[in-house]
Amino acid sequence: MIRHFSFAALPLVLLACSADNATGQNRAEAAGKPFKTEVIADFDAPWAMTFLPDGRLLVTEKAGELVLFDPRNKDKSWDGKVQVGIDGGPRVDSAGQGALMDVVLHPQFKDNGIVYLSWSEQGAGGKGVALGMGQIVERQVQCVRAPCPPQAMLNGFKTIFRAAPYVDGNGHYSGRIAFSPDGKYLFFTNGERQKFDPAQDPKATLGKVLRLNPDGTAAAGNPLAGKGFHPAVWSYGHRNLLGLAFDKDGRLWEQEMGPQGGDEVNLIKPGANYGYPKASNGSHYDGRDIPDHQPHDGFEAPKVWWNPSISPAGLVYYSGDLFPQWKGSLFLGALSGQALVRVKLDGENAAKADQWDMGARIREVEQGPEGALWLLEDGGQGSQGRLLKLTPAK
């Protein structure tokens, strides 16, 4: 049984709980899956997860809840009421595509206990995506009977960055977070908020990949700051960026939802313009055409794209040993595609490799400490929101 408490419109709480094909073409599902799937837990519309050094998981849920979950104790339940410490935190606006979104550990988490969260919120001018940080603190508490989970909370939680500008609507927040391999920089995605033009607006952070310092300030030396752009902008011309991951050589990969068709995996290059809404391999939902990416059109084309759409969500670079044949691949979930997708990398090139039907909307993919692949179902449109663990079939 998972015990967790909401902080949607309330102070943030953290708590303990028990327990290969041509680009542009979809690959047919393989006759059999090379992995077995174990259901570990069921969450309420989960959005993202990250592993702690001790093997526990932090899981965010759409409505604004953060759960500390130990998959090794999934069959245990706790007796006695757990008093949960509360200390600051975001006010989550979960309407539409809004949510408590990504959760990422500080590179020195073992020493400082700091975690980063992103979320959608109401603010001046409308709604937007924000970024914050706080320190996990756990204390043992007295329960009616032992064993008893510790009290856990985020201390000193503060907002360190907000997208600009805030606008009306409930879509395309993005909100993915990734630290550079050297731990010096934090990369943060801001969706174009279904407003199209902001993705090309130099003053807005919408439709952009941003490079920040760990404290949320714009990093020095960003490639477009001297050209009139917002000082945090690293790349632009994006739509709804829902995955960020560095490979072993320090390349930054990103996936985003295109319009009607045109979902993308991109290699992010500093200062590059990825074209949206001036170029896309998809079309507007009302049927209006968007010019396809063409050589020498001034825009950075995707390395991989899908038409029809799969609605990609989550992204991880696989570096584990449990699936040695997949080492060096990207994995992403598919929402409308209800699939787990593998993309093969070869230096700066990428190609589709596998697509497995999972029978549910896959929101998040993560690599576990032992090299297993962990998935979160979306929890909407027929999906339960389950946490799945994938290990080799043989």
Residue 10 domain-assigned (yes or no): no
pLDDT block averages, 10 residues each, the chain of length 394: 35 32 37 90 94 92 87 54 40 95 97 96 96 87 65 87 98 98 98 98 98 98 97 98 98 97 97 97 93 95 97 98 98 97 98 97 97 95 90 92
* pLDDT for res 74: 59
- Which one-letter amino acid corresponds to residue 186? L
Residue 362 domain-assigned (yes or no): yes
User: Angle at Cα 314 formed by Cα 310 and Cα 320, nearest 5°?
Assistant: 115
* pLDDT for res 89: 58
Cα R_g (the chain), whole angstroms: 20
Which of helix, strand or coil describes residue 112?
Answer: helix
Work out the number of other CB atoms within 10 angstroms of the CB of residue 52. Answer: 18
* pLDDT for res 147: 60
* pLDDT for res 129: 98
Domain with 328 in it: what CATH number? 2.120.10.30
**DSSP H or E segment with residue 311:** none
Domain count, the chain: 1
Residue 265 domain-assigned (yes or no): yes
d(CA 364, CA 308): 20
**DSSP H or E segment with residue 109:** helix 109-112
- Residue 207 near residue 220, CB atoms below 8 Å: no
Residue 8 domain-assigned (yes or no): no
Which of 106, 172, 230, 238 does the annotation list as catalytic? 172
* pLDDT for res 31: 47
* pTM of the predicted protein model: 0.90
Residue 46 domain-assigned (yes or no): yes
Q: Structural domain of residue 358, as residue ranges?
A: 15-19+21-392
* pLDDT for res 4: 40
Is the bond preceding 147 in cis, omega lying within 30 degrees of 0?
yes
Residue 172 appears among annotated catalytic residues: yes
Which residues, including other chains, have CB under 8 Å from residue 171's CB and lie 6 or more apart? 96, 97, 191, 193, 194, 240
Which residues, including other chains, have CB under 8 Å from residue 261's CB and lie 6 or more apart? 281, 282, 283, 306, 307, 308, 309
Residue 4 domain-assigned (yes or no): no
* pLDDT for res 149: 62
* pLDDT for res 150: 64
Residue 90 domain-assigned (yes or no): yes
Residue 7 domain-assigned (yes or no): no
Which of helix, strand or coil describes residue 364?
Answer: strand
- Closest by CA to 378, choosing from 320, 336, 331, is 336
* pLDDT for res 291: 95
- Closest by CA to 174, choosing from 195, 191, 193, 199, is 191
